[in-house]
Structure 1
Amino acid sequence: MTTLAFALAATIKHDGHGGIADLLSTQEEAAAWLIEHDQLIAQVLGADLGRFVLPNRAETLPNLREDLVRIRGAVRALFARAVAPGEPSTADAARLMSLQDALRMVNRAADRLGTTHLEWADEPVKRWAYRTEDPIELLVGAVGRSAIDFLVSPDRARLRACPAARCVKYFLQDDPRQTWCSPACGNRERVNRHYRKRTSG
């Protein structure tokens, strides 16, 4: 299962050379990410507003990258707090914003999506009233709402931080024996352990 917030959190990863790769390092990459995840955006905003957030050239949206990176920081800080058994990635821990700042940012973002209103023409109907028409604010709001929905869902209990050295990925544990985010991380850690045993003995 992938949610919009989870997909955004995954745009930070290990680069394979001991560093961190940011998949949103340019405005063009942010625009490509936005277009690639249009279905997840539509799940939160609805198909009509999802299309509104995605103009023909998403890379022309001002501040797209900066706003995505900011809300990603809040989501990752909340994921770090929520992971079981409670240990964030050591490669990531020093860069996380405070819990209070992350909560404030996610809640403010989600607030941009508005609330339900009652309308009454022939019959009473409930309609979602958005508080903004700015496409970036809608996108950031959708990430905030997605993060809130994920963190209060049963899936939160399956959230893990990969313990592999330098890995900064979060993943949903599908099996109780699953320790790593991917077989590659598991293999790398087994090789590291074997090397440490050989050099310490």
Structure 2
Amino acid sequence: MVTAAPGEERSLALALVNTRRLSAGDEVDDLADPRDATEWLRGHDLPAVRLTAEDVSRLTGLRTAVRELLTALAEDRRPSAAAVETVNAAARADAAAPQLAWTAGPNRKWHSTRPGSVEEALATLARDAIDVASGELGEVVRACEAHGCVRLFFREHARRRWCSTTCGDRVRAARHQRLVVEQRERA
């Protein structure tokens, strides 16, 4: 089980982007096939109808666009127009309206006109990406600084540089090993 990167619990879009990552030098894709993608949607309380290969392709296409959007934020640059259009198209694929729910206080929830559909899942992910990019969280999106890591996270502490303690430990171990080798060479 992979530890969630900081912020994944607050953003479906960030969790989506991190479904493709490197682990022990191998690429891992949590959306590799319809069964895996359906399971990922279920695990994130999104409509998990039986996905087809075409649905998975649409989901991974959205993931690529959202990664471009969030990476552009982390790098303080403009994202590609194609990525912006892909996210916008997914967001408008399901007409939804905000509804007020009152549980422990006021809470805004989006209600789909196509509940339980792939379009609802994609639109929910796209709307979250738009909220992140245009809101306060966009300012704290960062790429993990560990060599070989491709995950993104929300940097909510000024000293945080890695997406997980595993990446931080790898960087520190590599630094220690480099120092040991340098000391041996000097001796």
- Smaller-chain TM-score range? 0.7 to 0.9
Deviations 1:79-101 (A, max 9, x none): 11001xx289xxxxxxxxx6111
- CA shift, 1:192, in A, is 1.5
Indicate conservation of the 8 Å contact 1:67/1:136, yes or no.
no
Query: Runs (4+) of structure 1 moved beyond 4 Å?
Result: 127-130
CA distance 1:25–1:62, shift in 2 (3 Å): closer
Letter in 2 for 1:101: A
Q: 2:42 aligns with which of 32, 35, 46?
A: 35
Instruction: Say which SS state the counterpart of residue 13 (structure 1) adopts.
Output: strand
Instruction: Say which SS state the counterpart of residue 20 (structure 1) adopts.
Output: strand
Query: Which whole-Å CA distance do the structure 2 matches of 1:33 and 1:64 have between them?
Result: 13
Unaligned stretches of 5+ in structure 2?
1-8, 98-109
TM-score normalized with structure 1 length: 0.71
Q: 2:19 aligns to what?
A: 11
Report 1:45-124 matches (<5 A): 53-55=47-49, 58-59=50-51, 61=52, 63-83=54-74, 86=75, 99-114=80-95
Unaligned stretches of 5+ in structure 1?
42-52, 89-97, 117-126
- CA shift, 1:159, in A, is 1.0
Query: Which whole-Å CA distance do the structure 1 matches of 2:152 and 2:127 have between them?
Result: 19
TM-score normalized with structure 2 length: 0.76
Letter in 2 for 1:72: R
CA distance 1:27–1:115, shift in 2 (3 Å): closer
**Greater CA deviation, 20-29 or 161-170?**
20-29
Indicate conservation of the 8 Å contact 2:65/2:84, yes or no.
yes
Indicate conservation of the 8 Å contact 2:144/2:163, yes or no.
yes
Q: How many residues align?
A: 162
Sequence identity, in percent? 29
Instruction: Say which SS state the counterpart of residue 142 (structure 2) adopts.
Output: strand
